[in-house]
Structure 1
Amino acid sequence: MSRRTVWWLGALIVMLLGVLSVFMYLKARPYQEVVDHGPSPAAQANPYLAAEMFLRERGINVSHAESLTVLPQIDPRRHTLLLFNDRSRMTPRQVDQVLNWARAGGRLVFVAESIWDEQTKQSNDLLLDRVQLHQSLSKDLKDSPPVPESERFPKLTRLYLEDEDAPAYAGFDTDFHLDDPKNLAQAWANSAKATHMMQLPYSLGSITVVTDADLWKTTAISQYDNAWLLWYLSADTDVTLIYNTVHDGLLTLLWRYFPQAIVALLALIGLWLWQAGVRHGPLQAPAPKGRRQLQEHLRASADFTLRHSGQQALLQALQQDVLRRARLRHPGFAQLNVAEQWLALSRLTRQPTRAISQALSPVSKRRLSSADFCRQVAHLQTLRNTL
């Protein structure tokens, strides 16, 4: 291929690339695309993050905690305490602490957690019982009023305020109902068939009880007037929100951020266990059965009985064997008293009565020395062999 042909081919390629670039430039159109990566880690860890941000935007100072240990540091005046955590382990002392805080001027808002039991006249919610309100299932209401046809939102909870023509609507769970048997509540909010929020004065403060707090979580706070209701309950105060936060454990975090290190550590542990379990040297072969004599079996049996039953069992067995042989040699031996039995044994074995009494006396529970034990066994064996 000549040099001129190479130049022409190169120029053609450059021209084609230029035309392609101009075409793509004319056809290309810029656009924007929003990629949803889901909730942020902060939102996943805090279900009430949107509620906190909403209150902060309205000039309310908001803090949160996971337990009531912060309560002594909170001034009840012009302060609202939102108890949205699990209170199944709340103690009577903690209940008194919270109620004393509300009595001193604080606003308390908490969720009723248990159903009232008519038989036991209590529920499993100590705080709810102390404020003398009851919670029941809406389906168990006997005299529920009929839903009027003019009601636009029968499943929403309505809150009527003074000087307001229209009510505020909130998305409480309508499966539960609050009852006020003592007529202590001064304000309440109802759906078409049940009551889902009650507010009652408590000395210098106030207590608000709701059937659930899910309407203030991030997924629901923007619906209806849920956010406004939270602001209404905590307006002109500072807010402390108490709820349980689920934290990942140490092992979960280690596996998430250091999986290779954990796998390597497990492999090293496995190799060390394998190396530690390897035997050094050949296995010892079992002894041949031909070398096991009767004497060895008897000695092994005696050693086993001595270890597990003690000296008393062996001595008592020898004594019983002596008495058994005496009964065979002397008719009526079993009907004799002890002294007569010893005299009969003395005549049969030609052993002194003193030796026989020492050999057949009840065995002491005290452990004998090796010499005394061998001497006692020898005496019994002599008597047994003589009979």
Structure 2
Amino acid sequence: MSRRGWQALGALCAVLCTALCLYLYVKATPYQEVIDHGASPEARANPYLAAEQFLRKQGLSVNHANSLDVLPGIDPRQHSLLLLGDRSTMTPRQVDQVLNWTRAGGRLLFIAEALWDEKTGQSQDLLLDRVQLHQVLSKNLKEPPPGLDEDPYPKLTKLYLEDEDAPAYIGFDTAFHLEDPKNLAQAWANSAKATHMMQLNHGLGSITVVTDADLWKAPAIEQYDNAWLLWYLSADTSVTLLYNTHHDSLLTLLARYFPQALLALIALIGLAGWHFAVRHGPVLAPAPGTRRELREHLRATADFMLRHTGHSSLLQALQQDVLRRARHRHPGFEQLPVAEQWLVLARLTRQPTRAISQALSPRTKQRLSSAEFSRQVARLQTLRNAL
């Protein structure tokens, strides 16, 4: 293709590209899209994070605690304590501590955690039993008589306040019901069939019992008047929320994000255990049950005496054996002086006197070396064999 042809082809391509860009510019419509990435890590770790932030926006001082250890340092006056965590391990001493704190002027709110047992006359919730309230299942209650005006919101809990025409609507779980057999409650909030919140005085303070606190977790806290109720119960006080924040263990995190690596680690540990558990070499056969020979018994006896009495007892036994044989060969041998005994032994055994002296001289308590012990035994055996 000539040079002019290439220029024409380039101009045509430029025109087509320009036309395509103009078309896309005219037809393209810009828009915005919001991508929901879910709750933040802080919100996932703290179920009541939204409740804490809401109370702080209302001007309240809010703190979070993981145990009742902080209670002695909290002034009960103008302070609210919200027990929102599990209390299954709460002790009677801790119950007394909380109630004494409330009696001194604190505001206490807690969740009823156990059902009332008619047979035992108690529940598994020590704190609930101490305030003499009972929790039962709503399905076991009798159906209310039909009224003239049907409740338009039977699943919502209504809280009526003085000087207010309409109630506050709260999203409690309607599966549970609170009973007040002693008529101690000063205020309460009901759904169409059951009671889900009760308030009673306790000394200078007050106690609020609720059937659940899920309405103060995200996103339920944004519904109905749930957030308003939390503020209403703790207004004009400093607030301490007590619950345990849950953190996933290392094993859970590994299983969630690195399952292949976790499986490989388990397989490696299994292979290592199998390797070190395998026997190296043939299995030893059990010792035969036949009787041992006499020399084996003698050797075992000598080893025992050597471990417990040392070399001196063994050498002394050989020396006594040599002297006993000498008395048998030479009558009156035991009455001779030691020097003459050695001369007699030299004549009977044809051994030099020096060798006899070294063999029969008393030994010190100092432990002999193996070589010296062997030489001494050899001298004594030579004398005994010669006699």
Q: Taking structure 2 as the reference length, what is the TM-score of the superposition? A: 0.68
Q: Distance in 1 between matches of 2:159 and 2:68?
A: 30
Residue 23 in structure 1 maps to residue 15 in structure 2: no
What per-residue deviation string (whole Å, max 9, x for no partner) do you get for residues 150-193 of structure 1? 42222221111111111111111222221112221111111222
Q: 1:134, 1:179 within 8 Å by CA — same for their partners in 2? A: yes
Could you say which residue in structure 1 is the equivalent of 2:184?
Answer: 184
Q: Give the drift of 1:103.
A: 0.9
Could you say which residue in structure 2 is the equivalent of 1:61?
Answer: 61
Could you say which residue in structure 1 is the equivalent of 2:90?
Answer: 90
Q: 1:1-387 residue pairs with structure 2 within 5 A?
A: 1-142=1-142, 144-254=144-254, 283-284=281-282, 298-299=290-291
Q: What secondary structure, in the 3-state scheme, does the structure 2 residue paired with 1:298 have? A: coil
Q: Distance in 1 between matches of 2:80 and 2:62?
A: 10
The worse-fitting range, judged by mean Cα deviation, of 46-55 and 97-106 is 46-55
Q: Distance in 2 between matches of 1:157 and 1:148?
A: 19
Match for 2:24: what amino acid?
M
Q: Give the drift of 1:91.
A: 0.5
Could you say which residue in structure 1 is the equivalent of 2:342?
Answer: none
What per-residue deviation string (whole Å, max 9, x for no partner) do you get for residues 309-353 of structure 1? xxxxxxxxxxxxxxxxxxxxxxxxxxxxxxxxxxxxxxxxxxxxx
Indicate the percent of aligned positions where both proteins have the same amino acid.
71
Match for 1:64: what amino acid?
H
Question: Structure 1 pair 268/179, CA: closer, same or farther in 2 (3 Å)?
Answer: closer
The worse-fitting range, judged by mean Cα deviation, of 212-221 and 260-269 is 260-269
Question: Structure 1 pair 262/141, CA: closer, same or farther in 2 (3 Å)?
Answer: closer
Q: Give the drift of 1:279.
A: 7.6
Match for 1:192: what amino acid?
A
Match for 1:157: what amino acid?
T
Q: Distance in 2 between matches of 1:120 and 1:266?
A: 48
Q: Distance in 2 between matches of 1:297 and 1:125?
A: 67
Q: Give the drift of 1:118.
A: 2.1
Q: Distance in 1 between matches of 2:12 and 2:156?
A: 74
Q: Distance in 2 between matches of 1:87 and 1:62?
A: 21
Q: Taking structure 1 as the reference length, what is the TM-score of the superposition? A: 0.68
Q: Distance in 1 between matches of 2:20 and 2:70?
A: 69
Q: Distance in 2 between matches of 1:123 and 1:111?
A: 13
Q: 1:146, 1:193 within 8 Å by CA — same for their partners in 2? A: no
Could you say which residue in structure 2 is the equivalent of 1:305?
Answer: none
Q: Distance in 1 between matches of 2:125 and 2:12?
A: 86
Q: What secondary structure, in the 3-state scheme, does the structure 2 residue paired with 1:185 have? A: coil
What per-residue deviation string (whole Å, max 9, x for no partner) do you get for residues 363-384 of structure 1? xxxxxxxxxxxxxxxxxxxxxx
Q: Distance in 2 between matches of 1:299 and 1:184?
A: 90
Match for 1:229: what amino acid?
L
Count of residue correspondences? 293
Match for 1:197: what amino acid?
M
Q: Distance in 1 between matches of 2:220 and 2:170?
A: 10
Q: What secondary structure, in the 3-state scheme, does the structure 2 residue paired with 1:37 have? A: coil
Q: Distance in 1 between matches of 2:146 and 2:288?
A: 96
Q: Distance in 1 between matches of 2:116 and 2:277?
A: 61
Larger radius of gyration: 2
Q: Give the drift of 1:145.
A: 4.6
Question: Structure 1 pair 134/265, CA: closer, same or farther in 2 (3 Å)?
Answer: closer
Q: Give the drift of 1:127.
A: 0.2
Q: 1:160, 1:167 within 8 Å by CA — same for their partners in 2? A: yes
Q: Distance in 2 between matches of 1:285 and 1:181?
A: 76
Q: Distance in 1 between matches of 2:182 and 2:208?
A: 15
Q: 1:147, 1:192 within 8 Å by CA — same for their partners in 2? A: no
Q: Distance in 2 between matches of 1:6 and 1:81?
A: 84
What per-residue deviation string (whole Å, max 9, x for no partner) do you get for residues 225-259 of structure 1? 11111111011111111123221112334566777
Q: 1:147, 1:193 within 8 Å by CA — same for their partners in 2? A: no
Q: Distance in 1 between matches of 2:283 and 2:111?
A: 74
Unaligned runs of 5+ in 2: 293-387
- When the two chains are superposed, the root-mean-square deviation of aligned CA atoms in Å is 3.1
Question: Structure 1 pair 273/125, CA: closer, same or farther in 2 (3 Å)?
Answer: closer
What per-residue deviation string (whole Å, max 9, x for no partner) do you get for residues 242-297 of structure 1? 123221112334566777876786687677667767887xx55999xxxx9xx955
Q: Give the drift of 1:65.
A: 2.0
Q: 1:138, 1:176 within 8 Å by CA — same for their partners in 2? A: yes
Match for 1:108: what amino acid?
L
Unaligned runs of 5+ in 1: 301-387
Q: Distance in 2 between matches of 1:116 and 1:278?
A: 58
What per-residue deviation string (whole Å, max 9, x for no partner) do you get for residues 42-73 of structure 1? 22222222222211111112222222222222
Q: 2:143, 2:193 within 8 Å by CA — same for their partners in 1? A: no
Q: Distance in 2 between matches of 1:35 and 1:4?
A: 53
What per-residue deviation string (whole Å, max 9, x for no partner) do you get for residues 86-142 of structure 1? 111111011011111111111001111112222222111100111111112223234
Q: Distance in 1 between matches of 2:208 and 2:53?
A: 22
